[in-house]
Amino acid sequence: MDTPVRPTDAEGREILDSVVIRFAGDSGDGMQLAGMQFTEATAVAGNDLATFPDFPAEIRAPAGTTFGVSGFQIHFASHDVLTPGDEPDVLVAMNPAALKVNLRDVPKGGLVILNTGAFTPGNLKKAGYTRNPLEDGTLDGYRTLEIDVSKLVLAAVEPHGLGTKDALRAKNLWILGLLYWLFSRDRTPTVEWLRRKFAKRPDLAEANIAALNAGHVYGETAELPTGISVYKIPKAHLSEGHYRNVTGNEALAWGLAAAGRLAQLPVFFGSYPITPASSVLHTLAGLKHFGVTTFQAEDEIAAICSAIGAAYAGVIGVTATSGPGMALKGEAMGLAIMTELPLVILDVQRAGPSTGMPTKTEQSDLFQAVWGRNGDSPLVVLAPATPGECFAFAIEAVRIALEYMTPVIVLSDGYIANGAEPWSIPNFADLPAITVKFRQDPTGFNPYLRDPETLARNWAKPGTPGLEHRIGGLEKDFDSGHISYDADNHQKMTDTRAAKVQGVANSLPEQTVDCGDDHGDLAVVGWGSTYGSIQQAVRRARREGLSVSHVHVRHMWPMPRNLHALLSRFERILVPELNTGQLVKILRAEYLVPAQPLDKTSGMPFRVSEIAQGIRDALAKP
């Protein structure tokens, strides 16, 4: 919420430009659900938005503890929204632990909505409060709405005859109702959704609707403290089109299904569940009628190996995982590289090393993706920048894999995977076709015959008469495809594998500048999920008159042909990354440009302010 003195609309609602709300409560409080419903309602209301769900690693940690706090942040505005927001304007804290964990992020003057019913001595103690924050001045300087939601919910759903436990579960809907009122949102979609969801338990549906309505009515009727009114956020000027909200993992799954259709090939998806990649498997498991076969393997190695087997047999082989699983797949990636089979590997990165922080985000698998295998083992690496881009990049990955007969890694991360954004839905008819040529002709065939332009070997599908052949992980003769231990041949094959992957750059678009000029004092070079924060920080800096541009790399390996030339036109290069400096080293190694790192490894996305500060610091350096 921007300024203290606010304009109002005809109905007396304060007009706001942009708002950040964070829902926070116990894992069992249904905050993700409330957040997601609020997101839908906000999208329908025509705002642009970005979201950031932040779960605990425990399935359902003991109630009331700080490590069990689950959060969902949404940023929505009448202009375009690039990040879920640095600081919440509104914090919903369903219990003391939620307050404890989140209050520090709320700027003074922010609105804190509290469920006082949960501020029991037991809960206060579990949250680590020695005194009651409602009483000890902790909340001084904030605007607060202290409501015994628990009590009000029980009263509201009483007529529906639910037990206390079930009744209390509706707290999130009560709060949602209140927020719908505060931010002028329509309840209808949520009401309909509840009816669908609880089709088999109409009593639950009605109880939840009652809670939703009760929250809304509370807003309408209760005397709200001064400084709190009903807000209106005008529609954003999104470009024309048909929109929906999409998360990165959904978009990846749909992109794969679309790629199968574009290539007119079945998709085989072998995967082993792992946070935050699992939902790609879940989504694809429901798309069997799109020619998608999903296979939950016994581990990550079997998953990638099954996908390699499927690729050998002539379909689109795909596997998906997160960091620890990627580490396990390295040897098998080498096999796909040596046998030059098309393969798509999705890595939804999480905070590491080792098991690390499974539900937190990071970009620390770039090195592993580009260089983390035995031997010289080049492959292609892509990185979509937003949830929506995941769709196009899944297709692009399949295209490259099939066109060049190579494994392709797509790097997403926990932030993109779970974060939602309005997405302009493409038309299938507008998507680029993918052409696949299976070898049919036995004359002169050997499996390592190459397309002279792409250097792709020809793909001969088992079942084709006359093309019987054997491939494997041993070095192959350039000319015959048989096993070869010849020295010159190994040199030639190593060079060929490298040249083939480098050659992919010929089919890539040139690197463009995402914001600003193609030369200047500073290029801020990002990749992946940091897009929004960098974009916003660069825009801000440019508004301040600084000569700064945003260059966002999406083709991580090989990199766009013109990237070196482009970067050379900047005095300085700053590379913000959610790791200890990986792209920055690749840029320095490849181009010998004096790129400087701006690193963050807290498991959280960049705040815009952090990048803004980095820009100022970079420009200030002598």
Partner 1 sequence: MDTPQKLTRKDFVSDQEVRWCPGCGDYAILAAMQRTLPELGATRENTVFVSGIGCSSRFPYYMNTYGFHTIHGRAPAVATGVKLANPALDVWVVTGDGDGLSIGGNHLLHVLRRNVDLQILMFNNRIYGLTKGQYSPTSLVGAKTPSTPMGSIDMPLNPCAFALGANARFVARGIDTSTSTLGELFTAAYRHRGTSFVEILQNCPVFNDGEWEAVTMRDVASEHQLWVEHGKPLLFGKDRNRGLRLAAGGRHVEVVTIGENGVTEADVAVHDQTNRTLGFMLAQLALPGFPMAFGVLFCDPMPSYDATVGAQNADALTRLGTGDIDKLLRGGHTWTVE
Q: Does 244 bind partner 1 (CB under 8 A)?
A: yes
Smaller CB separation from a second copy, 20 or 287: 20
Binds 274: which of a second copy, ligand TPP, ligand SF4, none (CB < 5-8 Å by kind): ligand TPP
**Interface residue with a second copy, options 367, 425, 477, 539 (CB under 8 A):** 367
Q: Does 357 bind a second copy (CB under 8 A)?
A: yes
| Nearest-approach distance from CB 365 to a second copy, in angstroms | 5
User: Which residue is closest to ligand TPP by CB?
Assistant: 274
Q: Does 87 bind a second copy (CB under 8 A)?
A: no
**Residue 260: exposed, middle, or buried by beta-carbon count in 10 A (0-12, 13-18, 19+)?**
buried
Q: Does 184 bind partner 1 (CB under 8 A)?
A: no
**Interface residue with a second copy, options 22, 160, 185, 360 (CB under 8 A):** 360
Structure tokens at 486: 């010849």
Would you call 131 helix, strand, or coil by DSSP? coil
d(CA 166, CA 204): 8
Smaller CB separation from ligand TPP, 76 or 272: 272
d(CA 107, CA 300): 44
Strands 548-553, 555-557: pairing is: unpaired
Q: With contact defined as beta carbons under 8 Å apart, do 216 and 180 qualify?
A: yes
DSSP calls for 13-77: PEE-SEEEEEEEEEGGG-HHHHHHHHHHHHHHTT-EEEEEEE--SSSSPPTT-GGGEEEEEEEEE
Would you call 460 helix, strand, or coil by DSSP? coil
Using CA atoms, how far residue 287 sits from 25, 75, 87, 356, in Å, is 34, 31, 38, 32
| Nearest-approach distance from CB 377 to partner 1, in angstroms | 13
Q: Does 338 bind a second copy (CB under 8 A)?
A: yes
Would you call 592 helix, strand, or coil by DSSP? coil
Smaller CB separation from partner 1, 372 or 520: 372
Q: Does 56 bind ligand SF4 (CB under 6 A)?
A: no
Q: Does 73 bind a second copy (CB under 8 A)?
A: no
Binding part of the chain for a second copy, among 76-84, 124-132, 404-412, 596-604 by CB under 8 A, reads 596-604
Q: Does 44 bind a second copy (CB under 8 A)?
A: no
Q: Provide the terminal-to-terminal Cα distance of the chain, rounded to the nearest Å.
A: 37
Binding site for ligand TPP (CB under 6 A): 272-274, 300, 324-325, 328, 355
Q: Does 59 bind ligand SF4 (CB under 6 A)?
A: yes
Q: With contact defined as beta carbons under 8 Å apart, do 23 and 31 qualify?
A: yes
Q: With contact defined as beta carbons under 8 Å apart, do 376 and 498 qualify?
A: yes
Smaller CB separation from a second copy, 148 or 331: 331
For helices 149-157 and 171-182, angle between their N-to-C axes, nearest 10 degrees: 100
# of chain residues touching partner 1 (CB under 8 A): 95
Would you call 504 helix, strand, or coil by DSSP? helix
Amino acid at 329: K
| Nearest-approach distance from CB 547 to a second copy, in angstroms | 23
Smaller CB separation from a second copy, 360 or 542: 360
| Nearest-approach distance from CB 223 to ligand TPP, in angstroms | 48
Binds 368: which of a second copy, ligand TPP, partner 1, none (CB < 5-8 Å by kind): a second copy
Q: Does 61 bind partner 1 (CB under 8 A)?
A: yes
Amino acid at 513: V
Using CA atoms, how far residue 302 sits from 327, 340, 405, 485, in Å, is 13, 19, 21, 28
# of chain residues touching ligand SF4 (CB under 6 A): 2
Smaller CB separation from partner 1, 83 or 278: 278
Buried/exposed code over 43-66 (b: 16+ C-beta within 10 A; e: otherwise) = bebbbbbbbbbbbbeeeebebbbb
Q: Which of residues 267-326 bind partner 1 (CB under 8 A)?
A: 268, 270, 272-275, 278-279, 281-282, 285-291, 293-303, 305-315, 317, 324
Residues within the interface to a second copy (CB under 8 A): 56-57, 67, 322-324, 326-328, 330-331, 334-335, 337-339, 349, 351-357, 359-360, 362, 364-365, 367-368, 371-377, 472-475, 483, 485, 487-488, 490-491, 494-495, 497-498, 579-580, 585-586, 588-590, 592, 594, 600-604
